[in-house]
Chain A
């Protein structure tokens, strides 16, 4: 009778807990969504940065022309004159997701524009990602840790930086896909159900569709399988979780055009096949071991080992031969630079030139994962007690992702979920310990605990709820883990005798210490929340096409990029070609709808090197290169007037390096004075005569009379010069974007008289433009 009552109570409490955790998850979703809206509130609903513009353009094309045209899309507006096969070279996951969202919304008669859908895709998926984190951590360490990890992930700054509203990039959906794939893998591992294995393969397919980072999954899971086998944790559940995933996953991955046969031909995937073979051998061994007597098994082992060694050697030899026969040993440049961090800077300047491919600095760890960095070790310890298949997986995940984040800044994003899961486990476990010690020492409970352990827990829950009420909702949720665990614990406590109880009480921490520790943990959590909100609001929500700056006379808005692009789209012919450094390629095609020579998809190094060479050549040679490419306009970004540091002059050395890598007559030392990059009077003549210098600083002296560059904090070396082959057609309000037109070739027959006249006319025209547009800065 009493037993049924208590079980009734437990069921009721479980139901209550489920409802509560459902609402908490809902709130977490709202939190994850709304913390990413700072960029819309502070700026406007606009697509950010560079790559998102391309994704936006692709999505527009998809919604306009349908999926089949999308797969066959040959884009002739980029990489002129080569063009680019978009359908076969793009990871379609993000685009298809946003396209589907748009389609669903429109079929429900909610007329949102494509741009709006694109802007809000990332926040929606970050809510999904935090739910996926909950599921994953719940599989590893129970619901309490899951909820804590979900809250942490909802506002981890590293993830916010890639998923604020408007940051419409692959990572926005890929992180969700990554976590969800891991969750399904763990779920399959825990249940051994083929159904989840199928779902796992499909989630992996979505990940392959979305991001090149899928290779992380297809290497991490085999590593975990291998770890399990080596440590003797092989089980048939492991086989069910892994073997179907490899077969189905490989097939599904080769369905994505951008991956195609790479899914079976490149070394990134070989590891999974090797482990696939190993797990079959191991499975067979375990099976035979199961049906044979130990003595016969020994005989079989000696027999098989001698034969097996020969076979293994043969297979390894074949594999080595296969790998060695491919040119880069089967590894793509980006993956190689992961394994050998110095690889990219040595061999591939185009990879090294991207700032997000640089190794991170220590402060960036603190900035991006904040207090989680301190909680992670505690979480690893918590995972070891007790070590299960699932917890060994998250340990492996955190270890590998820490390594990868140390290689590339952008892979900090892969670390962030792992850090959140670990910290969630750590926080939950420590709250569990502290609240348990408080519970055992509460005077009212003390007497009871000796009589009935069941009562203790219910009393403890009441006490807990009171604590939870006083705190904020979010703190309440950190308390919950302990409550949940207590239920399980209760069942444990009831069984063992009083002796065990006494032992347990010896493990209890002092009352004051645990209260102080809880307060400190709450303080730590509050610090994390404050930091995350600050990061979301201030650091990571700038769209980078609209810049703002605060100075003593108020807020300045620099909207020069859009000004320049709209000038291009209104004042040039539809088929005109615009040359710029590749950073601005996507934006030019998306916003100005003009053909560009190179863009951010850096698939053709030679083409980029050609543009780099043109930018670093003297005017005449540059004009010839651009003319051979049919270029009508050249666009440079110049931050010297307003102090915008990521302008073309600062990127110029990379243009020289990339250009010099293909065309050896461009030599980096020519642009450096004693190994120093400078543009003042000490600069080398090659530097002062190259096209980039001239286009950036043309007429710059007219702004303040001294030509003081605010980014380099120096006066420029050569102030008064004229352009012979280019003419300035447009300079934006703050001089951030300057557009030049290539002058047509001179008519040779008329000789010098005409030349001088044309010169005179060009000077008058510049004078006229001066009178029209006074320097905006004064």
Chain B
């Protein structure tokens, strides 16, 4: 039983990896960016748990900046993904411009909120 489960898991990871290897490089870069920002957010949460959340707005803006960046990058990834049929008629340049605009707003707000 255990053996079959681990076998399944192995097969699963194998197929996951092979499926992921097929993704285009630009999407992989975005994925890396997402993982990086989520990781940064996690570090901040851990730091908050250790040190305390005293300047709460600083903590909040730090974490939300990371999460926000990640979310926006995911949105960009969805939009530029060629396999996604919903965004056939959306040129990647437009998607990127939207992404930049949204990031601009996000970080203006964060700079305001940082205090």
Contact = CB atoms under 8 A, between A and B. Distances in A.
B78 A239 contact: yes
B30 interface: no
Given A194-B99, A248-B68, A239 B15 contact: no
A251 B113 contact: yes
Interface in B77-112: 78-79, 83-84, 86-87, 90, 95, 97-99, 101-102, 105-106, 109-110, 112
A197 B90 contact: no
Given A247-B71, A299-B11, A195 B86 contact: no
A244 B79 CA distance: 14
A192 interface: yes
A31 to B, nearest CB: 35
A251 B112 CA distance: 10
A56 to B, nearest CB: 28
Interface string A735-753: 0000000000000000000
Contacts of B9: 299, 303
Contact of B15 (A197, A244, A296): A296
A308 to B, nearest CB: 15
B45 interface: no
A193 B99 CA distance: 10
B105 A198 contact: yes
Given A240-B75, A255-B109, A194 B15 contact: no
Contact residues on A (Cβ < 8 Å of other chain), bracket:
20 to 34
B98 A192 contact: no
Contacts of A305: none
Interface in A1-25: none
B56 to A, nearest CB: 6
Main secondary structure of the interface of A (DSSP, over half): helix
A239 B11 CA distance: 30
A384 interface: no
B5 to A, nearest CB: 8
B61 A300 contact: no
A97 interface: no
Contact of A240 (B19, B60, B78, B83): B78
Interface in A279-306: 283, 288, 290-293, 296, 299-300, 303
A775 B113 CA distance: 61
A202 interface: yes
Contacts of A296: 11-12, 15-16
A261 interface: yes
A264 interface: yes
A252 interface: yes
B26 interface: no
A192 B86 contact: yes
A300 B12 contact: yes
A774 interface: no
A236 interface: yes
Nearest to A195: B98
Given A236-B78, A243-B75, A197 B102 contact: yes
Given A194-B95, A248-B102, 15 more contacts: A192-B79, A194-B98, A194-B99, A198-B105, A236-B78, A237-B86, A243-B74, A247-B106, A248-B109, A261-B56, A292-B16, A296-B15, A299-B9, A299-B12, A303-B9
19 contacts: A192-B87, A198-B101, A198-B102, A236-B86, A237-B86, A240-B79, A247-B67, A247-B68, A251-B109, A251-B113, A254-B60, A255-B109, A290-B83, A291-B20, A293-B15, A296-B16, A299-B12, A300-B12, A303-B5
